[in-house]
Amino acid sequence: MAGDSSSGGIRTPMRPSLSSPRLASLVRSVLLEAGDPGDAGEHPLHDRAHRIASSLEDPAALAAAASQETVIGRGGNATVHAIPGEEDLVLRVPRRGGFSSGEEDVSARAERVANPFGDMNVGQPLARVGGATVLLRQGGEPAGMSFSDPAFKREDRDDVYRARIEAAAQMPQSAYDRVASDLLHSNQLGYVWDPSKSNNILIDAQRGRFGLVDLSLRDPGSEYVNSAADVVICLVGNDHARRAPHLDRDLVGPRREIIRRMMLAADRVGLPRGDSPDHISYRYSLSLAGMS
């Protein structure tokens, strides 16, 4: 979860690098307007999320919804499940002893969860029942190849990993600009996105966008602010690179492209680059891209 990132709390001043400062500032204001969080609190899917949470108040219903067959994502703390017949929402259930189970949450009442992100789409929770939450669904595939990823156990996991890095490198600049803008807003709202696992960002090639998941309120006293380097280390696939060194040569080009596009997005939007020399994980991304 957020806060346990090994990537360090690096902050660097904004560095607009577009040739025309007026163009940079125009792009930035358009993006910020597009990503304006709007009225914090309500979300059009709040009622639906609450209805789903209510239907899971019965511990047996929650345990059934958290079955292995519906798993679409897995992290160190939670398993995420598709909800049959539901396109826009998913169910996140804390893992217990390696399995999803709602059984501990005996007779929990369903509640709406305040949504500070407005109409931004960052996989935020909209309702909860006990420890389980109903989240806005992010489409696409996780980046990299995190240890907890369901694909990690597959025989062809290195091919999957490679395809994900290539897919990230082919995403349009607008997807990079949007994720930079989402992170900037999240920083401003006092949230932290956890970049310690690549699978906390999804690559939605069909819709041409990235989806952030695993955001939490910044710990009191913490000064950690997300940067473009955080996105880079996930998309470049730092997490699995040492297990797949035979791919390094082929992936230099895509990795370089990811770094170029993400840093351009940071400069356009005003997100910190986070590319200081003491950001060890980012240095590793640079070396994987043949840039250091």
From the list ligand ADP, Mg ion, none, pick the one residue 80 interacts with, judged by a Cβ distance below 5 to 8 Å according to partner type. ligand ADP
The smaller minimum CB distance to Mg ion, of residues 134 and 263, is found at 134
Select the residue interacting with ligand ADP from 27, 45, 78, 258 (CB under 6 A): 78
Token representation of residue 155: 């025989």
User: Would you count residue 133 as binding ligand ADP (CB under 6 A)?
Assistant: no
Q: Verify binding: residue 102, Mg ion, rule CB under 5 A.
A: no
3-state secondary structure 202-226: EEECCCCEEEECCEEECCCCCCCCC
Query: What CA–CA distances, in Å, run from 40 to 8, 117, 133, 216?
Result: 29, 6, 19, 16
Residue 146 contacts Mg ion per CB under 5 A = no
Query: 283, 211, 198, 176: which is closest to 243 by C-alpha?
Result: 198
53 is a site residue for ligand ADP (CB under 6 A): no
Give me the 157-196 binding string for Mg ion, x by CB under 5 A, dash otherwise. ----------------------------------------
Please report, as residue ranges, which positions from 213 to 272 form the binding site for Mg ion (by CB under 5 A). Answer: 214
Q: Give, as ranges, the residues between 73 and 92 that touch Mg ion (CB under 5 A).
A: 75
List the structure tokens of 261.
């596009």
User: Cβ atoms within 10 A of the Cβ of 229, count?
Assistant: 28
200 belongs to the binding site for ligand ADP (CB under 6 A): yes
Site for Mg ion in 194-213 (CB under 5 A): 197, 200
Strands (E), the chain: 71-74, 78-82, 89-96, 99-100, 110-112, 125-129, 132-136, 141-142, 191-193, 201-204, 209-212, 215-217
* Residue 3 main-chain phi, psi, to 5 deg: 100, -25
Q: Which long-range contacts (CB under 8 A, 24 or more apart) does 109-114 make?
A: 109/57, 110/50, 110/53, 110/54, 110/56, 110/57, 111/50, 111/53, 112/46, 112/49, 112/50, 114/40, 114/41
- Tell me which amino acid residue 98 is: G
Residue of the chain from 123, 144, 237, 254 that contacts ligand ADP (CB under 6 A): 123
Is residue 144 close enough to count as binding ligand ADP by CB under 6 A? Answer: no
| Residues 1-20 within binding reach of ligand ADP (CB under 6 A) | 1
Distance CA 19, CA 180 (A): 19
Shorter beta-carbon distance to ligand ADP: residue 90 or 289 = 90
Closest distance between ligand ADP and the C-beta of residue 26, in Å?
32
- Return the number of the residue (117 or 176) whose C-beta is nearest ligand ADP: 117
Q: Which of 59, 75, 144, 272 binds ligand ADP (CB under 6 A)?
A: 75
Report the partner that residue 238 touches, choosing among ligand ADP, Mg ion, none (CB closer than 5 to 8 A by kind): none
Near ligand ADP by CB under 6 A, which window of 38-46, 68-76, 181-189, 250-258?
Answer: 68-76
Q: What are the residues binding Mg ion (CB under 5 A)?
A: 75, 197, 200, 214
Q: What are the residues binding ligand ADP (CB under 6 A)?
A: 1, 72-78, 80, 90, 92, 123, 135-138, 142, 197, 199-200, 213-214
